Amino acid sequence: MLRHLLLKLRATGPVTVAEYMREALTNPGQGYYTRRGGIGESGDFVTSPEISQVFGELIGIWYISEWIATGKPEAFQLVELGPGRGTLTDDILRVFNQLASLLSKCDVSIHLVEVSPKLSEIQALMLTGGKVQSNPEDQSAYMKGVSKTGIPIFWYRDIQDVPPGYSFYLAHEFFDALPIHKFQRTEKGWREVLVDIDPEVPDQLRFVLSPSSTPATEHFIQPEEMRDHVEVCPEAGVIIQRLAGRIEKDGGAALVADYGHDGTKTDTFRGFRNHKLHNVLRAPGTADLTADVDFSYLRKMTQGRTATLGPIKQREFLKNMGIDLRLQVLLQNSHDGATHEQLLHSYDMLMNPKKMGDCFNFFALLPHHRLVHPDKKHKPESKSPLPPVAGFGELLLK
Ligand code: SAH
């Protein structure tokens, strides 16, 4: 990968951080996710669904709760962006299976958007036991199969290939992997940060500033911007626009969970290898590269097509979803010390403000009519109140 990038930089000059990140993560031959994507304890980074089954179970319940609140439509698609090892969908499918009698008249299908051939193989093994068909003729999907619980699963490279229809979207630690542009305020105005070859050290990369403003600078920096360093992820904006458009047209909801901020942070671009911070410019393709998600930008990119909720902290969302009750049940049902220990340890990882509890956030897109009655303005007294959206308000037990 480094050799490929050095050749490219020698031929064409410096590239944007977005282009560098895209190459390092998803280059079809040597990209980090294309080749392996080291998720899990033996890899480079560990994610919440890999820590505890409770995480995916509560998310599964969130979708069921939205399905009930919108009058139990006769079909829904669950669309996951960047499913990693497939653990989250597997946990959600277990919930759907446990609630089979509730869902018996509902036509459920799973749609996974994944660019990495290696990870889609791992997902297929996890979800179907490996029984999949490649390049099915009748579909826009590049692979299809049936889950262990009998639900059809389809794989796509792009959200645009997923068929339209009432859908629940899920993006967990997906947006942080999309390429960002970086900008620095200078005395001469905004400049884009670029990646170039270091002239002092052979075969090493370094950051430089564009000598003048670039089209991206003109496009992405708001005149009222107060920060001195800004990261923008236009690809995230495009995907959110698509999700918002689809939800506006066909109904459903999207749940986005990631580490991020609400338009306040500056330099968050970093790398992980073997669970340790890794210099982002070293050995590209061998480490996960990531940047905090700017939720204020995502909200703006819905362009008012949907309502949004959040971001709220992971520990608040999971508490509102009833994680404490679920933990009690699991503790009561297990009788060995090691399992108890493991349950309490994983709860702490997910909820502790110093671990994942505070830095991860939940954010939702919902049709406007889910939060406000369409004719509320005209006849405010005639409607019964809409059911609250789970997770974003305090859990009240009746
Ligand atoms: N959601 C999982 C994995 C997160 S890692 C979890 O929480 O454990 C990021 C995932 O997004 C990987 O599956 C990676 O292959 C995928 N990915 C990265 N860029 C992508 C893109 N542009 N389109 C589709 N998937 C992408």
Pocket of ligand 1 (CB under 6 A): 26, 33, 37, 39, 47, 49-50, 82-84, 88, 113-116, 119, 172-174, 177
Q: What φ, ψ does residue 204 adopt, rounded to 5°? A: -120, 150
pLDDT of residue 138: 73
Contact 86, 381 (CB under 8 A): no
Q: What does the mean pLDDT of the chain come to?
A: 94
pLDDT of residue 316: 98
pLDDT of residue 139: 78
pLDDT of residue 37: 65
Contact 271, 280 (CB under 8 A): yes
Atom of ligand 1 nearest to the CA of 171: 1
Q: Nearest residue CA, atom 11 of ligand 1?
A: 82
Contact 204, 198 (CB under 8 A): yes
Tens-binned pLDDT, residue by residue, of the chain (398 aa): 999 999 999 999 999 999 999 999 999 999 999 987 678 777 888 889 999 999 999 999 999 999 999 999 999 999 999 999 999 999 999 999 999 999 999 999 999 999 999 999 999 999 999 899 998 887 799 999 999 999 999 999 999 999 999 999 999 999 999 999 999 999 999 999 999 999 999 899 999 999 998 888 989 998 899 999 999 999 999 999 999 999 999 999 999 999 999 999 999 999 999 999 999 999 999 999 999 999 999 999 999 999 999 999 999 999 999 999 999 999 999 989 999 999 999 999 999 999 999 999 999 999 999 999 877 665 656 567 889 999 999 877 66
High-pLDDT (> 90) share of the chain, %: 87
Instruction: Report CA(173)–ligand 1 centroid distance (Å).
Output: 7
Atom of ligand 1 nearest to the CA of 34: 15
Instruction: Report CA(116)–ligand 1 centroid distance (Å).
Output: 8
Q: What φ, ψ does residue 261 adopt, rounded to 5°? A: -150, 175
pLDDT of residue 173: 97
Reported as type and span, the H/E element at residue 143 is: strand 143-146
Across 305-340, b (16+ Cβ under 10 Å) vs e yields bbbbbbbbbbbbbbbbbbbeebbeebeeeeeeeeee
Contacts for 324 with CB less than 8 Å, ≥ 6 apart = none
Structure tokens at 44: 């480079």
Q: Nearest residue CA, atom 14 of ligand 1?
A: 82
* Contacts of 187-195 spanning 24+ positions with Cβ under 8 A: 189/213, 189/217, 190/217, 190/221, 191/217, 192/16, 192/216, 192/217, 193/17, 194/14, 194/15, 194/16, 194/17, 195/9, 195/14, 195/15, 195/16, 195/17, 195/19, 195/20, 195/281
pLDDT of residue 276: 94
One DSSP character per residue, 266-288 reads ----EEEETTEEE-TTSSTTSSE
pLDDT of residue 396: 75
Probe target for ligand 1 pocket from 116, 156, 162, 178, with the most ligand atoms within 8 Å of CB: 116
Atom of ligand 1 nearest to the CA of 113: 24
Contact 112, 145 (CB under 8 A): no
pLDDT of residue 43: 85
Q: Nearest residue CA, atom 26 of ligand 1?
A: 82
pLDDT of residue 381: 60
Instruction: Report CA(117)–ligand 1 centroid distance (Å).
Output: 11
Instruction: Report CA(177)–ligand 1 centroid distance (Å).
Output: 7
Instruction: Report CA(33)–ligand 1 centroid distance (Å).
Output: 8
pLDDT of residue 383: 65
Q: Nearest residue CA, atom 21 of ligand 1?
A: 115
Atom of ligand 1 nearest to the CA of 39: 8
